[in-house]
Amino acid sequence: MDIFGKIKEKLSNEFIDIIEWLDYTDDTIAFRFERYQNEIKNGAKLIVREGQTAVFINEGQLADVFEPGTYDLTTQNLPILATLKGWKYGFNSPFKAEVYFVNTHLFTDEKWGTKSPITLSDDRFGLVEIRAFGTYAYKISDAGKFIKDIVGTDSNFTNFEINEHLKSLIATRFTNTVGQANLPIELYAANTTELSDTCREVMSPEFESVGISLEKFYIENVSMPEDLKKEIFEYSRIDKLDLDKLTKFKTAKAIEAAAQNEGGTAGAGMGMGMGFVLAQQMGGMMGGSTQAAPQQAAQPTGGAVPPPMPTQTQYFYASNGVQHGPVGFEQMQSLFASRAINRDSLVWKQGMSAWTALKEVEELKSFLGGNTPPPLPTE
C-alpha cells in the first residue's frame, strides 16, 4: 500500500459511521454523543431506540430532530442541516455536528413539597399556615426545545439537575393556586383530588414552554398546626348542633337533678325555678296555656313567698346569612369563644328594634375582653 492509501485508510477510520446511545442509567435525560474530533461521514447510520429522540445541533443552532428508528444520514434525511451547511446538490465529504440523545420515557414518583408554610386567610380562623407534599410524573415532549432552552451545552444532563427547577416551579404555582381557591381551611385536606387536577392544569403551560409534559400531579397530604385542627373539629361539632334542642335538653336534665337533690329549700327553689323556665318555653310552643301553672307551683308552704325566678334573655344571631336561635347568654358566650360568631355578628333579642352588631349590645360586650371594674367603694 502506498502512502496515499495509508492516509486514506487512517482518515476513514476517524470518520463516524454509526451514531447511537445505549442508556444504562435511569436518571440521564440528555446525552451528547462524543465525537472526539471525529467527523460524521456521508451515509452514516443513525440508530434511535424506543424512548429516545436524537437532536442535531449545528454551530449552536437547532437543526434536525429524529424520532425512534434507523436512518442513513443523507441530505434527504437532514433537510435543515443541509440548508444550514449550504448543501445544494448533496454532500460527499464528512461533516461536523453535535448530536444529542434525549430520554423521552416517563419519569415517575418525583417528590415535591412546600419548603416553608403557606399563609392563608380564612374568614373564621384568620391567618393560618398549611404545608403540603406529594409526587409528580413528567416526560420530555419537545426534545429540540428542551435542548435549546434547558440543556444548552451540558454533555450529560440528569434528572437531578432539572428536578430542583421543577420543584421550585411547583411550590410557587401551588401557593398561588391554593391562595386563589379561597376555600374554607378544612376543605383543602378533604379535596386533594380536585385540587391536584386544578394545580396540574395551572402548571402544565409552564412545563410545556420548555418542552416538558407534566403527566401526573398528586397532593398526598395537606397539614396544619394541631391547635388549628382542634378548633376546626370543635367548630364543626357546634355547627351541626341544634342549639334550641340542646337548651331544652339541658333544662330538663337540670330539673331532674334538682328533684333528686335533698338539699331542702334551696334544692326545691332551684327545681321550681327551672320548672318555671321550662314551662315558659313550652307555653311559647302551646300558645301560652300553661303560664298560670308555674305561679301556683311556686307557692312554698309557710314563710314569705319569694318573687318569681328571673327569665333568661334569649338571643337570635346571624351566621353566613342564616338566622339561628334562640339561645341563652351562656350559649352565646360559647359560640363567641369557638369563633362561630364574632364581634361584628348581628344579634337580636326581644325589645330591640333592629338587628345589631354584638359589640354594640351592652351585656355582650364582656365577650370582647378588656373590661375594667369600677373602683372599690371607700368606707
pLDDT digits (tens, 9 = 90+) for 275-292: 454 445 545 544 444 444
Q: What is the dihedral of CA 89, 91, 93, 98, to 10 degrees?
A: 140
- Residues contacting residue 246 through CB under 8 Å, at least 6 positions apart: 331
pLDDT for the residue numbered 154:
83
The pLDDT value recorded for residue 58 is 82
How far is 215 from 22, CA to CA, in rounded Å? 25
AA identity, residue 92: N
Sign of CA dihedral 191, 194, 196, 198: negative
Confidence band of 316 (pLDDT split at 50, 70, 90): very high
Quickly state the pLDDT bin for 348 (edges 50, 70, 90).
very high
Q: Tell me what pLDDT residue 205 has.
A: 92
**Domain shared by 180 and 95, yes or no:** no
132 occurs within a structural domain: yes
Q: Does the pLDDT at position 23 exceed 50?
A: yes
Examine residue 136 and state whether it is found in any structural domain, yes or no. Answer: yes
Q: What is the pLDDT of residue 213?
A: 94
Please check whether residue 163 lies inside any domain of the structure: yes
Strand blocks (E) in 212-331: 212-223, 315-319, 322-327
In a domain, 301, yes or no: no
State residue 266's pLDDT score. Answer: 45
Residue 161 lies in a domain: yes
Residue % of the chain over a pLDDT of 90 = 20
Residue 232 counted as domain residue: no
Which residue has cell 430520554?
103
CATH number at residue 131: 3.30.479.30
Give residue 161's domain range.
Answer: 107-225
CA distances from 358 to 291, 298, 335 (A): 31, 35, 12
pLDDT of 13? 47
More confidently predicted of 230 and 300:
230
H helix intervals, 287-347: 292-297, 329-337
pLDDT at res. 251: 75
363 and 275 both lie in a single domain: yes
pLDDT in tens, 115-172: 888 888 877 777 888 888 999 999 999 999 999 888 887 888 888 888 888 998 898 8
User: Of 103, 127, 144, which closes a domain?
Assistant: 103
pLDDT greater than 60 at residue 1? no
Average pLDDT value for the chain: 77
Query: Is residue 296 packed enough to be buried (19+ CB in 10 Å), middle (13-18) or exposed (0-12)?
Result: exposed
Residue found by looking up cell 450529560 in the block: 156
Domain termination site, one of 179, 196, 225: 225
pLDDT value of residue 293: 43
Which tens digit of pLDDT belongs to each residue from 364-377? 888 887 555 556 66
**One domain, residues 114 and 10:** no
Residue type for 68, please? P
Q: Please tell me the least confidently modeled range out of 209-218, 259-268, 359-368.
A: 259-268
Residue 48 has pLDDT above 90, yes or no: yes
Of 42-51, 111-120, 238-247, the least confident? 238-247
Residue 305 lies inside a defined structural domain of this protein: no
d(CA 346, CA 325): 12
Helix, strand, coil percentages for the chain (3-state, nearest 5)? 40, 25, 35
Question: What pLDDT score was predicted for residue 7?
Answer: 40
Q: Which of 196, 225, 254 is the last residue of a domain?
A: 225
In a shared domain, residues 32 and 122: no
Instruction: Provide the terminal-to-terminal Cα distance of the chain, rounded to the nearest Å.
Output: 134
Say yes or no: 178 and 128 in one domain. yes
| Rounded mean pLDDT, 348-365 | 90
Residues 346 and 315 in one domain: yes
Residue 259 lies in a domain: yes
How do beta strands 61-66 and 52-58 pair?
A: antiparallel
Counting the structural domains of the chain, the total is: 3
Q: Which residue has the higher pLDDT, 320 or 111?
A: 111
**pLDDT at residue 2, as a whole number:** 52
| Rg from Cα positions in the chain | 40
Residue 274 has pLDDT above 60, yes or no: no
- 274 plus 356 within the same structural domain: yes
Q: What is the mean pLDDT of residues 173-201?
A: 81
Kindly tell me if the per-residue pLDDT of 93 is higher than 70: no
200 lies in the same domain as 258? no
Average pLDDT score over residue span 216-225 = 87
- Residue 379's pLDDT is 58
pLDDT surpassing 90 at residue 301: no
Q: Are 129 and 117 in contact (CB under 8 A)?
A: yes
Share of the chain above pLDDT 70, in %: 71
User: Are the CB atoms for 319 and 243 separated by under 8 Å?
Assistant: no
Q: Are residues 221 and 129 in the same domain?
A: yes
- Cβ pair 348, 356 in contact under 8 A: yes
Give the model's pLDDT for residue 44: 85
255 and 350 housed in the same domain = yes
Say how far apart CA 44 and CA 52 lie, in whole Å: 19
Q: What type of residue sits at position 188?
A: Y
Evaluate if pTM is beyond 0.75. no
Residues 203 and 271 in one domain: no
Say if residue 16's pLDDT is above 70: no
pLDDT number for residue 351: 87
